[in-house]
């Protein structure tokens, strides 16, 4: 896989203990046309931990994570400024291929979106085949590994030829997670991954998220504050496109330093 080059003098540089962080943003701004949706966000995301992004609807949570793997720019009229560093390499630097960024930083969306005309097996293998892998043994190993990591292998191992769209909603979401894991990213972004699921399926996804941080850096957007408290190590609270508070999850929930954070957590608005 193509390597991203370290940030140079053309890009904003973040000083300090870079080795502790997988992703760093400095003065990240984002717009949709004239609508300024993210305002000077500077966040350090720790490696091999789960970071939750919380805040009321419309505060910029989804836009923020879409900037991390350059999906924001796919929207007509969208633009951004500032720096996003992945292992101290600016993903927006001149000459960086966005496709390379998205292989390293995978995305799981709010609504499960398996490829409806593909089997379970082909859904997981799709990214690998696009990358030119044709060896059946390699594909078999990667599919099995990814489904195991997604806690789905035991449920589908005898039905790999079955349509991915025929699975239950919770299984479809885990299939999409397996699909993201198959190309061996370093970061997994999840945008409200449980909002369309029932409580049983949600519990399985939360267990999965907790297990993934042993090998991956995970960033999850959630409107469910209880979920953020259960699964994340660190939490960022956004409001009107600004970072209000960011820190260790237990500390932020039990003893927030900002009055606005406390008001949101206690349900006074949002």
Question: Where residue 82 sits, what CATH number does that domain have?
Answer: 3.40.50.300
Joined tokens for residue 207: 């267990």
Q: Is residue 6 part of a domain?
A: no
What is the per-residue pLDDT for 268? 85
Query: Is residue 89 situated within a structural domain?
Result: yes
pLDDT of residue 204: 94
**pTM for the model:** 0.90
Consecutive sets of 10 residues in the chain, 270 residues long: mean pLDDT of each? Answer: 54 46 97 96 97 96 97 95 96 94 94 94 95 93 97 97 95 97 96 93 95 96 95 97 97 97 89
Burial of 56 (0-12, 13-18, 19+ CB in 10 A): middle
Q: Which helix (H) or strand (E) holds 100?
A: helix 98-104
Between CA 236 and CA 261 the distance in angstroms is 10
Q: Which two tokens stand for residue 60?
A: 């910029």
Q: What is the dihedral of CA 200, 202, 203, 208, to 10 degrees?
A: 130
In a domain, 150, yes or no: yes
- With respect to residue 11, please indicate whether it lies within any of the assigned structural domains: no
CA contacts within 13 A on the Cβ side of 162: 14
Domain annotation covers residue 7? no
Domain interval for residue 171: 18-265
Q: Decide if 12 is inside a domain.
A: no
Give the count of domains, the chain.
Answer: 1
Task: State the pLDDT at residue 18.
Answer: 42
User: For residue 70, is it within any domain?
Assistant: yes
Q: What is the pLDDT of residue 160?
A: 98
Helical H segments across 157-269, by residue range = 169-182, 199-212, 225-231, 249-254, 259-265
Give the pLDDT confidence score for residue 196 in this predicted structure. 87
pLDDT of residue 51: 98
Max Cα-Cα span within the chain: 57
Residue 4 in domain: no
């Amino acid at each position: 896989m193509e390597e991203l080059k370290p940030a140079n003098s053309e890009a904003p540089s973040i000083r300090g203990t870079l080795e502790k962080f997988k992703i760093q943003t400095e003065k990240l701004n984002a717009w949709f046309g004239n609508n300024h949706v993210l305002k000077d966000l500077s966040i350090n995301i720790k490696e091999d931990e789960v970071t939750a992004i919380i805040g009321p609807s419309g505060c910029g949570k989804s836009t923020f994570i879409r900037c991390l793997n350059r999906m924001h720019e796919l929207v007509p009229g969208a633009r951004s400024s500032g720096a996003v560093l992945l292992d101290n390499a600016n993903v927006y630097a001149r000459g960086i291929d966005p496709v390379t960024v998205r292989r390293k930083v995978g995305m799981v969306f709010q609504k499960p979106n398996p490829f409806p005309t593909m089997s379970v097996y082909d859904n997981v293998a799709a990214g690998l085949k696009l990358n030119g892998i044709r060896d059946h043994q390699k594909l078999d190993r990667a599919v099995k590994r990814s489904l195991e990591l997604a806690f789905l292998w035991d449920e589908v191992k005898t039905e790999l030829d079955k349509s991915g769209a025929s699975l239950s909603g919770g299984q479809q979401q885990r299939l999409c997670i397996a699909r993201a894991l198959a190309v061996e990213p370093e970061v997994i972004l999840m945008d409200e991954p449980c909002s369309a699921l029932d409580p049983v399926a949600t519990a399985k996804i939360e267990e999965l998220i907790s297990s993934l941080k042993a090998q991956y850096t995970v960033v999850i957007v959630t409107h469910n504050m209880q979920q953020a408290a259960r699964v994340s190590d660190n939490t960022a609270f956004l409001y009107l496109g600004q970072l209000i508070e960011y820190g260790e999850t237990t500390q932020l929930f039990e003893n927030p330093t900002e009055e606005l954070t406390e008001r949101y957590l206690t349900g006074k608005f949002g």
